[in-house]
Structure 1
Amino acid sequence: MSGFKDVVGHKNIIQYIGNAVTSDTVSHAYILNGERGSGKKLLANLFAMSLQCQNREADGDACGKCQSCKQAMNGNQPDIIRVVHEKPTTISVDDIREQVNNDIVIKPYSSKYKIYIIDDADMMSVQAQNALLKTIEEPPEYAVIMLLTQNAEVLLPTIRSRCVMLKLRNIRDQLVKKYLMEQLEIPDYKADICVAFAQGNMGKAISLATSEYFNEIKEEAIRLLRNIDEMQVEELMAAVKNCMSYKLEIQDYLDIIAIWYRDVLLFKATKDPDRVVFSDQLKYIKQRASKSSYEGIEVILEGIEKAKARLNANVNFELTMELLLLTIKEN
């Protein structure tokens, strides 16, 4: 990918960046806020590449051919600094002092700007944020700091007020599906499932489309849902233990169950097979729609959300899944 023209979605942000670059009104600090996989890192890298480009296009996009662009694409442009941190869940005050504050006083090596990209910036400790605040308040004229966050609200208000906020929105499902089918050559049915799960997140859609493990999780969940009426308590408990092997991907597992029952609810209400995501399971979707009441399906969907919340709160995994499967079986 050589420029903004290759990005799917985020047109308002791309237009804003292009205008800032071409009119030379670049801010000294930006927050790119969006969920994991939404494209923050991609946009930040392209923004940085555009700022440093030696032969920029009229719309502000990088040429992709000059020495700076080639260096940027290879990850070794000397004036684009990516802040790293050793601790997996914290960016410490020492990380900020050593990689930003102590370095930013040195002028750019070969470019107009010196750009700092801080991924997972919402992991900065309060001390790290305060250290960065001093730099953001009085930055050198050549400095541009980009903070990439999933939850900008955890940043200090004093930092947020001094940064331009760029919020990444969900991409339209049609655009995500088009990309998966045309660029990754994903078949229509599989693309529909990935799109339903991704909910406008291109990174997640690509990850799901290219993951064999996701297909295993999906098949395991569907097998359970097709047979749960005939399963005895012991079999349900065995299914719970089987779920344990997918513990790291349990949210995906629960999302599969949720989409299945949304299909059931939708088919029960509309009788329209074209609106069903799991179209290859239509026979079983119909059977479930005829057996379950609207109230029962609603109880199941609420049960799935409760299970997600309990797992996020570290409630016992087996107990949580056992309660959910019993709720499904009873409704």
Structure 2
Amino acid sequence: MFEDILGNDDVKKYLTNCIENKNFSHSYIFSGIKGIGKYTFAKDFAKCILEDSMMQDYYELGPDGKSIKVAQIRELQNVINIKPTFSKKSVYIIDDADLMTIEAQNSLLKTLEEPPEYAVIILIVHNERSILSTVKSRCVNIKFSKLSDKDIKKYFLKNDLSFEDKNINVFKVLDGSLNNIDFIRDDYDELLKLTVFVTNLKKNKVINFFQDASVFYDNHDKIIRLLEYLNILLFENSYFQLIEIVEKTKNKILMNNNFEMCIDYMILNFIEELY
């Protein structure tokens, strides 16, 4: 079991022990960044709990739009009240559970406090800070780690993908997650521009500075990922004083401040620090 899943051997060991001893909690939180296998682990764990390849006593829900709403949780609670038909247990997975509204979490709390004996609820969480402490306290919290470069190489080889590139560091972009593979493929040109941007910082090419900075202004929808990769490049080149500027810019954007003004803030502060 779990043989085909990369990384997180400690999680494999723990879940395997639960399965072998048929010792299951009523509720789990699988927490960690996106793209490290939490959902795949949850599905395989559910199959083992149910001992049914058809997974007939299984229910799954995810966001309706940008959040998981209280109506969805109430529907889940109605389903949970139905006893399993084919297995001794029923498994319920809430994917992107950190997108539950506060009202939805408070509603779920009632079930977590008094779950049916047959119920196993798994919350898949990417941002644990979004989960109420009262919800967390009633779940077994299983923390997933980032994938190692070795694990990522295995994935690339298995899927006939190349991980060697002279222009960008693939492993730095992925940062322990397979979630960014599409980012590398779809936004390679932008990543390359960032590499040139930092290279020109090193060469003090002031003339090229604003031209290079266009990569930020032109990519509103993917700016957070680009800023995260920029910080990786800055760290590699020992521009520690600029990393804090990038972090402040990222936080301003996440707080829905004016996009262009945020980028202006970053660029002007870069110039002040460097020139």
| Superposition TM-score, scaled by structure 1 size | 0.72
Q: Does 1:82 align with 2:57?
A: no
| Cα drift, residue 138 of structure 1 | 2.4
Structure 1 residue runs of 5 or longer lacking an equivalent are 54-67, 72-76, 266-296
Task: Report what 2:252 is aligned to.
Answer: 310
The secondary structure found in structure 1 opposite 2:6 is coil
Q: Does 1:110 align with 2:86?
A: yes
The secondary structure found in structure 2 opposite 1:139 is coil
Higher helix share: 1
The percentage of aligned residue pairs carrying the same residue is 31
- Which of these two proteins has the greater Rg computed from alpha carbons? 1
Query: What do the CA deviations read for 1:127-171 (whole angstroms, capped 9, x no partner)?
Result: 322322222222222211111112334433332222111111222
| Cα drift, residue 191 of structure 1 | 11
Which residues of 2 match residues 196-235 of structure 1 at below 5 A? 196-201=172-177, 203-208=178-183, 211-227=184-200, 229-230=204-205, 232=207
Which residues of 2 match residues 108-257 of structure 1 at below 5 A? 108-189=84-165, 193-201=169-177, 203-208=178-183, 211-227=184-200, 229-230=204-205, 232=207, 236=210, 240-257=213-230
Q: Distance in 1 between matches of 2:226 and 2:136?
A: 36
Query: What do the CA deviations read for 1:52-97 (whole angstroms, capped 9, x no partner)?
Result: 23xxxxxxxxxxxxxx42x4xxxxx3321112342412x2221111
Task: Report what 2:12 is aligned to.
Answer: 14
Aligned residues of 2:5 and 2:37 also touching (Cα < 8 A): no
Aligned residues of 1:194 and 1:205 also touching (Cα < 8 A): no
The secondary structure found in structure 2 opposite 1:31 is strand
Task: Report what 1:97 is aligned to.
Answer: 74
Structure 2 residue runs of 5 or longer lacking an equivalent are none
Task: Report what 2:32 is aligned to.
Answer: 34
Structure 1 residues 182 and 125, CA, compared in 2 at 3 Å: closer, same or farther?
Answer: closer
The secondary structure found in structure 1 opposite 2:237 is helix
Higher relative contact order (CA 8 A, sep 6+): 2
Structure 1 residues 239 and 318, CA, compared in 2 at 3 Å: closer, same or farther?
Answer: farther
Number of residue-to-residue matches in the alignment: 271
Q: Does 1:51 align with 2:28?
A: no
Q: Distance in 2 between matches of 1:79 and 1:153?
A: 30
Over the aligned positions, Cα root-mean-square deviation in angstroms equals 2.7
